[in-house]
Amino acid sequence: MDAYTCVEAMTKVVQGFDEAIEAEAMGLLAAIEWTKTLHQQTILIESDNSTVVQALRNEQYPRNYWGQMIRSGGDYVREISVQWIKRSGNKAAHYLARWAE
């Protein structure tokens, strides 16, 4: 596996979701949309939500709100890499989320 370097990061407060998985899906969709503006050749997005990552990577979207959100970003995922990472290994996202509160 190639080594990746964090060259940019973002944080965004998302409110109004009843379920945590909806907020996770919205966060992943926002990250996918944001990467379109970066003009980088290699992009890796890491998420600690395995359900959302698997739905996106397998192109099997649930027929619910978060599934439809992820579907809308699905075509672009062929050009980037979205991977699941253990929550304990996702410290950068944890610190950004705390900072945004």
Question: What's the pLDDT at 67?
Answer: 92
Q: Which two tokens stand for residue 91?
A: 């410290």
Q: What is the pLDDT of residues 6-42, one digit of tens each?
A: 667 777 777 777 788 998 898 888 888 888 888 777 8
Set out the domains of the chain in order of their start, with CATH numbers: 20-100 (3.30.420.10)
Separation between Cα atoms, residue 46 and residue 88, nearest integer Å: 12
Give this prediction's pTM.
0.74
Give dist(CA 8, CA 43) in Å, integer. Answer: 10
